Amino acid sequence: MSAAPLIAAPQAALPCVILIGMAGAGKTTVGGALARDLDWAFVDSDHLIESIYGARLQDVTDALGKEAFLDAEATVIRAIRAQRAVIATGGSVVYRPAAMAHLATLGALVFLDVPFALIEERVARNPERGIAMNPGESLRDIFDERQALYNRYAALRCPADAPPEDCARWIRVHLPPHSLEPKG
């Protein structure tokens, strides 16, 4: 059997589902569950950044500073060329419109909306989690600032304070059917 049919580009673009939300919202765990449910690939942009820099995300953020990190994150996001994938993004991706515009071309943007108290609890359990913050900014400051951005960009807002499998199921049920079908 020839490999040519396997590597040829598909006739129609196949969509992705892109998860946005705060650090601790569950993008990685919900994304993994959703990808398994759909039998799609799973991509975590934070893991891509860690593999490019060869360091933990928080170390990359600390070394670059917030603005340079946001630029680096946007560059990584704009380089993603995926189909039939669930993509978990970093919480700060919404600060760069070009990154968000690129993600919107890939598929439906889903905001995993989690109450601040739960975000605070989850982040406290994992203090090594990479969060792009300026000195003097609090988790509450960035939570409040980002909420409007997440809502602006999202095609769907998922109340994500349930177990990951329940959130994945909720997304599948509530995504418009065309979001899971080939484009073009």
Q: Residues annotated in the binding site for Mg(2+), as ranges?
A: 28
CA 57 to chain centre: 14
Residues, the chain: 184
Yes or no: say if 107 and 155 are a contact pair by the CB < 8 Å rule: no
* CA terminus-to-terminus distance, the chain: 28
Q: Which residues are annotated as a binding site for substrate?
A: 46, 91, 146
- Identify residue 175 by its one-letter amino acid code: L
Which one, of 37, 14, 22, 42, lies nearest residue 167 by Cα? Answer: 37
Which residues sit in the known binding site? 24-29, 46, 91, 129, 146
Pair 171, 158: CB distance under 8 Å: yes
What is the spatial order of strands in the sheet that 41-44 belongs to?
Answer: 41-44, 85-88, 16-20, 107-113, 156-159
Q: Say if CB 24 and CB 118 are below 8 A apart.
A: yes
Q: Are the C-beta atoms of residues 154 and 110 closer than 8 Å to each other?
A: yes
Known binding residues for ATP are 24-29, 129
